[in-house]
Amino acid sequence: MNRRAFLQRCAELGATLPFFSFLLACEEGQGQRYADFEVNFDGRVIVVGAGAAGLAEGYMLDRYGIEFEILEAMPRIGGRVKRDDTLVDVPIDLGAEWIHSDPGILARLIDDPSVEGSIDVVPYSPDTISVYRKGALRPLNVGGNYYAEYKFHRTTWFDFLERYIASGITDRIRLQTPITTVEHDETGVRITDADGGLHTADRVLMTVPQKVHQDGRIAFSPPWPAEKKRALDALSIPDGLKVFFEFTERFYPDLTAVGSLLGEGGSDKLFYDAMFRKDADRHVLGLFHVGPGAADYVGLGDDDALVQRLLEELDAMFDGQATPRFVRAIVEDWSANPFIRAAYPTDVGGDTPSTLATLRRPIDARLYFAGAGVDYENQSTVHGAMQSAYAAVERILGDMPQTP
Amino acid sequence: MLPTILAVCLASSPSVAPPDESSVAVPLQAGLFVPYGTQPGARVAVPVEFRARTFTRARRRRSVTRTGSLFAGPRLGAFVRPAQHWSLTAQGEFGYKLRGHRRGVYSAFGVGAGYLLEARIVRVRVDLGTADTDVTREFRHGLLPEASYTVGQDFENRWGWYLRPSVGAKILPSVGSSLFMAIEVGFRVRLMPRRAR
């Protein structure tokens, strides 16, 4: 079950997973320091993708003095981590937003005791929760006792990555360089970008979204092993989008879960107060929609039409209070982005640990894989993506022999 | 699971006489208190009984004698939701208790209401070098009406045990109301027994 589904089910069922709060709290202090292994590699590495995993990879490679370059298809870093400064006076996480761990994870990801500074986060445990189902909005505040995570106070995941992870490696990032082919043999790896540029390396770490691989946007020669291809095909990666509405007044609870929450095809659609504990003067309602139902909205193909449809839904939910108070909206459609193409894997199917291990497994000691979609312990999270990258660095640098 | 434990406890306990009906004591209850099944805490209460009335009903093989009494008293509690908040409760409670004489087993229904103080963590400052955290709390005040059912047993000596599930509402003016539910299990001791007048 993905995190969103978990949240929704907890919100509706209350006591189904009563010890989640304990587990989250008990995570506190269970830190680990990553950069502590023997390096047996002095070649060149190319990292494909400058999302959380790609940036973390570069951050750690830089620490070890390894020659590397990050190729990013988009004109910006971050991938599904993105910031907006235009809607209100508080920066908004257009992409990944929640910290699915204890706050200390931020320091553990930086992994540098000499870093000076602090970040404020807020416990995200909604006080007011409603469920909208079969045309009725029902309060279910008790659900807040079974769910808690964290969010940034007046900053974002993007700010964290930009300031503490990417700041020292910006000169190694090549933006607007989508790759089309990856060839490897005993002599190394050759990557061709969309402009025909050739990039060579001894090792390559792929951190692009799994949907990019599923859609065959990058050609590999030789092709992926059959086992790895099967594991990739087993992933369910639904559409996903986020929308942020500014309103003149607040009329909504902290969290509203929409639709059937149980059974097959249950939607994963949440409206939430995006300014929760952010001490903001403005009122912003966020929509997080990842799941089969998101396809209906993605298919509209037009942001204005999408916003209008959602306003009509909000009017139906909140007795016509949305449209008169509406100011403006921002849409972040992951599915429409040609270099992201969907949300993230929500169902791995079958033996999850085995499938993800297969997806992480290197190919011929040349191609390595990391990202939110392949981390087992913290799948589909920013810190999980970064941790998978750190693990890949250790594998690339620690286990591999010297280059020929 | 819980019914099984209770059944074993009841079955294995010796057949004891009820507490001396001619004595009156101050009962003290103290136990583990777990709102929502996830937020551990503790509660103490002094449910003083009064207007006791003993009655006997004839059954096919033997008669059954029971004592019904009203009870009232304060109930103080504290509980914590790790990494989120700690809370204090101070309530008054009133109810009716019915105790059998053979094994000292009793059940009781009670209603109560009182004050809830919640110290909620609203911000956490993370030192990015050391991972140390510093929290900012916000205090919230509310009401906590509650209805409970208690099952327990008073042994011949001063001791006993009880299990007390309860439901109610957590009413915070800034938030509204939400369902409150808790389970409480603990011991019961009769203090300062004295001869009834």
- Following DSSP, what letter does each residue of A373-400 receive, concatenated? TT-STTTTSHHHHHHHHHHHHHIIIIIS
CA–CA distance, B79 with B86 (Å, rounded to integer)? 6
Q: Does B54 touch chain A (CB under 8 A)?
A: no
A11: pLDDT strictly greater than 50: no
Decide if A46 contacts A189 (C-beta within 8 A): yes
Cβ-based neighbour number of residue A401 at 10 Å:
8
- pLDDT for A399 equals 63
Rounded mean pLDDT of B121-150? 96
User: pLDDT band at residue A13, thresholds of 50, 70 and 90?
Assistant: very low
Decide if A8 contacts A257 (C-beta within 8 A): yes
Nearest CA in chain B to A22: B82
A400: pLDDT strictly greater than 60: no
Angle CA(A140)–CA(A141)–CA(A143) in degrees, nearest 5? 80
* Residue in B38, B81, B133 closest to A103 by CB: B133
Q: Which residues of B touch A29 (CB under 8 A)?
A: 131
**B128 and A107 in contact by Cβ < 8 A?**
yes
Percentage of chain B beyond pLDDT 70 is 85
Could you report the predicted ipTM of this complex, rounded to two decimals? 0.87
Q: Does B140 touch chain A (CB under 8 A)?
A: no
**B123 and A277 in contact by Cβ < 8 A?**
yes
User: pLDDT band at residue A174, thresholds of 50, 70 and 90?
Assistant: very high
pLDDT digits (tens, 9 = 90+) for A306-335: 999 999 999 999 999 999 999 999 999 999
Q: Which of A23-32, B84-93, B149-158 has the highest mean pLDDT?
A: B84-93
- pLDDT for A41 equals 86
**B121 and A25 in contact by Cβ < 8 A?**
no
User: Among A2-16, A282-296, B105-119, whose mean pLDDT is lowest?
Assistant: A2-16
Residue with tokens 């360089």: A177
Rounded mean pLDDT of B123-140? 96
Nearest CA in chain A to B130: A113
A349: pLDDT strictly greater than 80: no
- pLDDT for A403 equals 45
Interface test with B, best of A16, A19, A109, A118 (most B CBs within 10 A): A118
Two tokens at A215? 């859609």
Backbone phi, then psi, for A386, in 5-degree steps?
-70, -40
Give the minimum alpha-carbon distance from B167 to chain A in angstroms, rounded to a whole number: 12
pLDDT digits (tens, 9 = 90+) for A69-87: 999 999 999 999 999 999 9
pLDDT digits (tens, 9 = 90+) for A358-390: 999 999 999 999 998 888 778 889 999 999 999
**End-to-end Cα, chain B, rounded Å:** 44
A299 vs A360, higher pLDDT: A360
Q: Which residues of A touch B129 (CB under 8 A)?
A: 107, 110, 112-117
Rounded mean pLDDT of A28-52? 77
Amino acid making up residue A162:
E
Rounded mean pLDDT of B9-28? 54
CA–CA distance, A357 with A378 (Å, rounded to integer)? 13
The helix or strand, by DSSP H or E, that contains position A188, with its residue range, turns out to be: strand A188-193
Q: Which residues contact A45 (CB under 8 A, 6 or more apart)?
A: A57, A61, A66, A67, A68, A69, A201, A202, A203, A204, A205, A396
Output the DSSP codes for A78-123.
BTT--EE-SSSSS-EESS--EE-S-TTHHHHHH--TT---EEEEEE
CA–CA distance, B120 with A6 (Å, rounded to integer)? 24
Q: Which residues of A touch B81 (CB under 8 A)?
A: 21, 145, 148
- pLDDT for B1 equals 47
